């Protein structure tokens, strides 16, 4: 149950449109809900403003379907990362309006698509091979209420491709930089903007990149101030952090 749903329930209770017993039933599983194989944190939407996100890798299709069904029953938005097509198909049988983003490997639900999204986040990607992580970050931002501006295929092998976008970077509230190989793009962007930069190393690269470890270490050792780093391929984590930062900035500006 998100904040809007709870507010509507309490308003109906105050107006006499629902009785106390109905309200108690609705709130009974608010702290958490035990499904036997998982305990859903139903309180997270109130604490964070966004419901629990499902990490689908390692779960059976039936487990994912069960979790998604309960989350969809309690809120208008659902996100499942690292989801397979099999898991999505199983979940869609119980949540027919569920969607799937094949490139991002995410299943998702948005029953409030008309709500305005906050501007201010820019997502920059070094190469086309980084797009799965890019799409995961942008979908996360979208579901959390933010509209991301994307700049892709501007890696340091052709740095002149980034130059036309400098003014966009300098107007951003927060920038996500996604890069594999040597991961140098995060340092470059960090030196061009005073916005906080969230660097995401990807597992893109040849053998000595060690599945993204080379990019991770390069980003951790960035000489540019204001660069923070999330884990390898963690587009969701970067999107979530960027949404939290941008929400505070937009809120303070109002």
User: Comparing 49 with 107, which gets the higher pLDDT?
Assistant: 107
Which pLDDT score is estimated for 14?
81
- Tokens linked to 212: 């993204």
Which residues in 156-166 are b (16+ Cβ under 10 Å) and which e? beeeeebeebe
User: Comparing 76 with 40, which gets the higher pLDDT?
Assistant: 76
Closest CA to 80 of 50, 103, 58, 109: 109
Q: How confident is the model at residue 31 (pLDDT cuts 50, 70, 90)?
A: low
Which pLDDT score is estimated for 165?
96
Residue 194 has pLDDT above 90, yes or no: yes
Which pLDDT score is estimated for 251?
77
Count how many Cα atoms sit within 13 Å of the Cα of residue 118 in the half-sphere of its side chain: 23
Whether pTM exceeds 0.85: no
Which pLDDT score is estimated for 48?
62
Q: How confident is the model at residue 38 (pLDDT cuts 50, 70, 90)?
A: low
Residue 28 has pLDDT above 70, yes or no: no
Task: Tell me the domain boundaries of the chain.
Answer: 3-110, 118-253
The fold of the 118-253 domain, in CATH, is Rossmann fold (3.40.50)
Residue 45 has pLDDT above 90, yes or no: no
Residue 111 three-state SS? coil
The enclosing H or E element of 134 equals: helix 131-143
Which residues have CB under 8 Å from 130's CB, separation 6+?
152, 178, 179, 180, 202, 204
Distance CA 175, CA 52 (A): 24
Distance CA 200, CA 20 (A): 48
- Tokens linked to 10: 């309490």
Q: Among 32-41, 68-77, 111-120, 186-195, which is the least confidently predicted range? A: 32-41
User: Comparing 80 with 112, which gets the higher pLDDT?
Assistant: 80
């Amino acid at each position: 149950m998100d904040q809007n749903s709870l507010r509507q329930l309490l308003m109906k209770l105050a107006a006499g449109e629902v009785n106390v017993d109905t309200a108690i039933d609705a709130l009974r599983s608010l702290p958490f809900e035990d499904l036997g194989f998982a305990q859903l944190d139903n309180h997270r939407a109130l604490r964070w403003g966004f419901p629990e996100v499902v990490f689908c890798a390692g779960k059976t299709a039936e487990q994912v379907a069960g979790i998604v069904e309960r989350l969809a029953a309690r809120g208008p938005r659902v996100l499942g990362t690292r989801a397979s097509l099999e898991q999505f198909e199983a979940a869609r049988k119980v949540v027919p309006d569920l969607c799937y983003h094949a490139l991002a490997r995410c299943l998702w639900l948005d029953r409030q698509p008309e709500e305005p999204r906050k501007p201010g986040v820019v997502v920059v990607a070094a190469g086309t091979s980084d797009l799965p992580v890019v799409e995961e970050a942008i979908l996360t931002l979208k579901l959390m209420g933010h509209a991301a501006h994307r700049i892709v295929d501007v890696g340091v092998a052709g740095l002149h491709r980034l130059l036309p976008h400098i003014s966009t970077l300098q107007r951003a509230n927060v920038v996500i930089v996604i890069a594999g190989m040597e991961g140098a793009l995060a340092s470059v962007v960090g030196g061009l903007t005073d916005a906080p930069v969230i660097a995401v190393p990807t597992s893109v690269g040849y053998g000595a990149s060690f599945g993204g470890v080379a990019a991770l270490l390069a980003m951790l050792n960035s000489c540019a101030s204001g660069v923070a780093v999330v884990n390898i391929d963690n587009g969701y984590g970067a999107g979530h952090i960027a949404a939290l930062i941008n929400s505070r900035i937009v809120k303070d500006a109002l």
